[in-house]
Amino acid sequence: MSSFPMNERQTVIVHVAVPLPLDAPFSYRVPAPLAPAAAVGRRLLVPFGRRKVTGYVLEVVDDDGRELRDVLEFLDDGPLFTPSELALYRWASSYYLHPLGEVIKAALPAGINVQSRRGRGLEEDELTGGRSVKTERVYRAVAGVPETAPPPGKAWVLLAHLTERGQESAPELRRLFGECSVQLRRLRELGFVEMAEREIYRDPFRMETVGHDCPLVLNGRQTAALVRLRTALDAGRFTPFLLRGVTGSGKTEVYLQAIAHCLEQGRSALVLVPEIALTPQLVSRFRRRFRCGVAVLHSGLSDGERFDEWRRIRRGEAAIVIGARSAIFAPLAELGMIVVDEEHEGSYKQGEGFRYNARDMALVRGKMAGACVVLGTATPQVTTWHAVAGGKLECLDLPERVNGLPLPSAEIIDVRGARGSILHARLAAEVEENLARGEQTLLFLNRRGFSTWLTCEECGHVLRCPNCQVTLTYHQGRNRHICHYCDYAVPAPSLCPGCGCGRIIHLGLGTEQVEAYVREHFPHARVDRMDRDTTARRGGHARILRKVAERQTDILIGTQMVAKGHDFPGITLVGILSVESTLNIPDYRSAERTFQLVTQLIGRAGRGDDPGRVLIQSLNPDHYALAHAVAGDMDGFYGAELAFRQETGYPPFAHLAALCLSGTAASAVERTSELLAARLRELRRDGGGRVEILGPAPAPLAKLRGRFRRQILLKAADRTTLHRLVRRVRESFQPPAGVRLQVDMDPVDLM
DNA sequence: AGCCTTCACGCC
DNA sequence: GCGTGAAGGCTA
């Protein structure tokens, strides 16, 4: 820290993080005229080799006369982050082993960063041309009558409107009168109207919020949870909770009332949701409940909208932020409470670039801010449950549904030996019966499209993505074969592309095919489908949900999407068509995921006083994840799963890290992974200790989105050892040009 | 020779 | 990440 306030003539030195894959900060001299602007959190422009790059001030220190290059310019009006936010960035950078500059860049709203422009001779405007304040044009009628008469026609209508209203914005005029810039320009030239620029916020939620939502009366368990949260908030210390509540147990109301208490204390609140695009109801409920500003941050916003929401938060105009994972960096001051809703969701993890987990960071940020952190879910992660058992988290239970209904009955249908039928006779009969009673059915399959792959019965040719090497999924609606990783698509062939014969067959069931099957077998039913293909357009979710709510849909077919967050109040029968597609994903958490999915789907059933039924078609009817989910036996499942994890050495009994290599040249990635593995073994030998090195596997390289990838998985009993090894390898191993090394700490996705 | 691609290096 | 400059290879 330097001495403030400083003499204006004095120069200072700033330590700067640049958003590049470099670990060390760089120092620059701030020339005297710029010195007053030097402060932690400021964005600036510095010379970097032959380039100019943006950087972030980490520290301001006294000039010690070292030979340094000069800062070129400070950007923005003031700092973009506070020292306490910097502390969070530093923690993330060191924990996730990712360069600080890139962490800061990821934490700040997209669009404010101006990346380097090549070479010399660049214009000043170019550099400051990043996303900034948005303005709109406002037209105003000029008082007093100019000498000429106003032009007739559209211009006259515009002038009359402006005279009546006093002033109007350009977009509004365009909305009312159509394209009218020519006329406006003419009116300005003639002196009838004048124009001004006005600073505006882009409003990401156009939906008007009507009415006011009042706190609901809580049941006994909700009250107990709320009382506990209030006590913790009053204590003003970091306190982490698991709020475990079955679907429909009223978790949201507990959040709302706890947050109300937090706001009364003058503190702010952050609510993380797995995918905000899917939860507009939640946002509107918050907006109706709280009159203070509610800001929204998620990837669906344009850069400009996001920047505006970020500025509102920074200026203290919004005390509540609802957002997806990146909102963990929302610039809220005086943070009192962080809610992580559906904490078990995998989407809290960022899987590319700066690989962080917002659910984990919520605990860290909460600790730094002295806030309460509430992890809410019906089906906690196994690791979360283990933390509860170890006394690290306090568990608040909401075991009852608000409506008092018992949970639906669930049953497994053994489909072994009944290959080929999409709906087992048993399930088909139940659907028929449910239709006859005028009740609604949900059929779940975790795979969109018509069929997963196309093959030739003559030559065995299979259609694959040239970028990703995965099979192309056939989409009947578009009559194309599409890659689900990179969206590569080819028109559906009628003859085998390998041998030209006509004997091509579709294998692997998808929701489109289920829909076709259901329409054929239940011709009188009103059928709808909800997956990424039918909800791609804006408002797609709402349309399907409304039809279900208004009982215009008898049978809804859906993917993952239907299990997450949405309420389907009328569904009395749920059919899970092939639980194997989740159970057999090559990931050590597949059993956990299956248990969570089935439990969540069971929670979706029931209407009025009918608790509903759930039928699960399975080839593994005795699997423990299914058995415990069907029995509603949480403790049984967690017990079994923890035993399995302990036996196999997976979290929470071991820590994992993956070193991910990627590049466009297969041979370079291959060679680098061998070198990296050798270096790892070397490091482990001299003092690394008990870290298990898995890989590189002698398998073909995985190829995704045109990049070849390989990862080396590391397992260790304690995190410190693992961290030390990864840190050392990253310091001493420079991947060759064209290959990128990224670290993925702890919650690892196996490929 | 001239020109192009490949690769190790360093950036305050 | 990206610009640099040295090294090797191909055409004339």
Task: State the average pLDDT over residues A655-683.
Answer: 87
Query: Higher model confidence: residue A542 or residue A358?
Result: A358
Task: Yes or no: say if A18 and A55 are a contact pair by the CB < 8 Å rule.
Answer: yes
Q: Is A468 annotated as a binding residue?
A: yes
Residues contacting nucleic strand C by the 7 Å CB criterion are A 20-22, 48-51, 115-116, 118-119, 737, 740
Q: Which nucleotides of B are covered by protein (CB under 7 A)?
A: 7-12
Q: Is A214 annotated as a binding residue?
A: no
Distance of A71 CA from B11 C1′ (whole Å): 15
Go through chain A and tell me how many residues it has: 751
Distance of A26 CA from B10 C1′ (whole Å): 13
What are the phi and psi torsion angles at A451 (to 5°)?
-145, 150
Question: What are the distances in angstroms from CA A450 to CA A415, A427, A513, A526, A541?
Answer: 21, 21, 5, 19, 20
DSSP assignments along A444-463, one per residue: E-S--SSEEEEEETTT--B-
Neighbours of A24 (CB within 10 A): 10
pLDDT tens figures, A394-410: 999 998 888 788 888 99
Distance of A201 CA from B12 C1′ (whole Å): 38
Q: Is the peptide bond before A5 cis (omega within 30 degrees of 0)?
A: yes
In terms of average pLDDT, the best of A91-100, A192-201, A460-469, A739-748 is A91-100
Question: What are the distances in angstroms from CA A341 to CA A261, A360, A361, A580, A736?
Answer: 18, 13, 14, 27, 41
Distance of A216 CA from B12 C1′ (whole Å): 59
pLDDT of A170 reads 72
pLDDT of A114 reads 43
pLDDT of A83 reads 97
Q: Say how far residue A749 (Cα) sits from the centre of its chain.
A: 16
Distance of A97 CA from C9 C1′ (whole Å): 40
Dig out the tokens for A692 from the structure: 């298990």
pLDDT tens figures, A301-335: 888 889 999 999 999 999 999 999 999 999 999 99
Question: Pairing state of beta strands A51-62 and A335-341?
Answer: unpaired
Task: Yes or no: say if A573 and A411 are a contact pair by the CB < 8 Å rule.
Answer: no
Residues contacting nucleic strand B by the 7 Å CB criterion are A 20, 22, 24-28, 47-49, 68-69, 668, 736-738
Rounded CA gap, A240 and A249, in Å? 20
3-state secondary structure of A422: coil
A465: Cβ–Cβ under 8 A, 6 or more apart, which residues? A471, A472, A483, A485, A486, A488
Q: Is A292 annotated as a binding residue?
A: no
Percent of chain A with pLDDT over 90: 59
Distance of A65 CA from B9 C1′ (whole Å): 27
pTM score of the predicted model:
0.86
Rounded CA gap, A272 and A274, in Å? 7
Q: Which nucleotide is nearest to A49 (CA to C1')?
A: B11
Average pLDDT over chain A, rounded to whole? 87
Task: State the average pLDDT over residues A96-114.
Answer: 86
Q: Is A660 annotated as a binding residue?
A: no
C-alpha distance across the termini of chain A, in Å: 46
Dig out the tokens for A26 from the structure: 């760089």
Burial (0-12, 13-18, 19+ Cβ within 10 Å), A405: middle
pLDDT of A216 reads 92
Q: Give yes or no for residue A751 having a pLDDT over 60.
A: no
Question: What are the distances in angstroms from CA A81 to CA A90, A188, A304, A329, A365?
Answer: 12, 42, 19, 10, 15
Rounded CA gap, A241 and A198, in Å? 45
Distance of A356 CA from C6 C1′ (whole Å): 40
- Please report which confidence band the pLDDT of residue A120 belongs to, taking 50, 70 and 90 as the band edges: very low
Nucleotide C4's nearest residue (CA vs C1') is: A50
DSSP assignments along A296-309, one per residue: EE-TTS-HHHHHHH
Q: Is A395 annotated as a binding residue?
A: no
A420: Cβ–Cβ under 8 A, 6 or more apart, which residues? none
> Using CA atoms in the order A330, A336, A338, A339, what is the torsion angle rounded to 10 degrees?
-130
Q: Is the peptide bond before A696 cis (omega within 30 degrees of 0)?
A: yes
Q: Is A501 annotated as a binding residue?
A: no
Nearest to A676 by CA among A646, A707, A713: A713
Q: Which nucleotides of C are covered by protein (CB under 7 A)?
A: 1-4
A659: Cβ–Cβ under 8 A, 6 or more apart, which residues? A676, A680, A711, A712, A714, A726, A729, A741, A742, A743, A744
pLDDT tens figures, A490-537: 999 999 988 989 899 999 999 999 999 999 999 999 999 999 999 887
Burial (0-12, 13-18, 19+ Cβ within 10 Å), A201: middle
Output DSSP code: residue A687.
Answer: I
